[in-house]
A and B are shown apart, each in its own frame.
Chain A
Amino acid sequence: MIVRIATEGQYRVGSDTLDKLNAIDNQLVNIVARGDQAAYDQLLKSMLDLVRQSGQPVALTEIVESDLVLPAPDTTLAEARQLFKGDGLIPD
């Protein structure tokens, strides 16, 4: 499985990591809905750290499409909220 952290790079992760990512993702949905800033910061970071630590960085010379894309590390709570509204992170 190839996972990209937006604006950072790609990692190869195993299926166990994928399960954990899904669990965190579900929690994030609730936290963003609640607007809990502290929990959001902490959980986003632990989601990205999970990929960074358990994944293998994809070589720079390798060109592959990702299966999943995680939000950029500096995604704010407001931006995450926008994502759910479906407006997209950045207007085109």
Chain B
Amino acid sequence: MGLISRMSTLLKAKMSQLLDRAEDPRETLDYSYERQLQMLQDVKRGVVEVVTSRRRVELQAARLQDSVTKLDEQARQALAAGREDLARLALERKQVALQQLNGLEAQIADLEKEQEKLTATEQRLSAKVEAFRTQKEVIKAQYSAAEAQVKIGESLSGLSEEMADVGLAVERAQEKTERLKARAGAIDELVAQGTLVDITQSGDTIDRELAKISASQSVENELAELKRQLGTGESPKQLKEGSDQ
């Protein structure tokens, strides 16, 4: 069995759980219309949740950006005061903050994409629900229960499939938002404590070593550049005059 048939089976399984069929098919119509409206509310709530998370991450990014600026200034002051050790510390923290900032920007882009997708889902479902409502009224007005049974068969299964699919989209968006929220919460805490997580603790050993090397290289380069700007002391020997970072 291929991926397509697995996926088809999965969605059909979800469909069968969605709608209980009543004795009178016309009741089934009303009942499923209620379910659709509920589902539409779920999707709308989903969109709001994603937007809220995105705003929160954007706020964090702005705060991190502030602390990058602040750490930069502190490094400059420390060096002007002849405290190279403090300057190095500030620049190290700045590197960590910058890396976190990159991560947050990627998260913001992810959440924007989720928001777009869910909004499209909402529009799709809302058009289907409206189409169903019209059909439902026609069927209820024109057909006996027995005739309605035949008439609604196709549109009811088509609609439960639509609802199952929308349910899937909402679940996926929620899972992603939850994951991002958890990460954002962790960063919030660290920012509040004034200590950002050491970015070098994630990833495997090689990643960690590489991150350390590149972070410390950036710190050294910036320190040299600050010294050059302040006109203090000799620039480190490994750096060529006017070298870029």
Contact = CB atoms under 8 A, between A and B. Distances in A.
A52 B42 CA distance: 27
Contacts of B155: 63
A21 B4 CA distance: 9
Q: How large is the interface on B (under 10, 10 to 19, 20 to 34, 35 or more residues)?
A: 35 or more
B237 interface: no
A4 B131 contact: no
Contacts of B17: 92
B172 interface: yes
B231 interface: no
B179 interface: no
Contacts of A29: 2-3
Given A69-B7, A83-B6, A60 B131 contact: yes
Interface residues of A, number: 32
Contacts of A90: 168, 171-172, 175
B244 interface: no
Interface string A2-29: 0010110100000000000110011011
B10 A64 contact: no
Given A70-B7, A90-B172, A25 B2 contact: yes
A7 B43 CA distance: 12
B162 A63 contact: yes
Contact of B13 (A63, A84, A88): A88
Nearest to B173: A7
Contacts of B234: none
B124 interface: yes
Contacts of B127: 60-61
Given A26-B2, A69-B11, A90-B172, A9 B124 contact: yes
A26 B13 CA distance: 23
Contact of A32 (B3, B5, B171): B3
A44 B177 CA distance: 24
Interface string B13-39: 110010000000000000000000000
Interface of A: 4, 6-7, 9, 21-22, 25-26, 28-29, 32, 60-66, 68-72, 74, 80, 83-84, 86, 88-90, 92
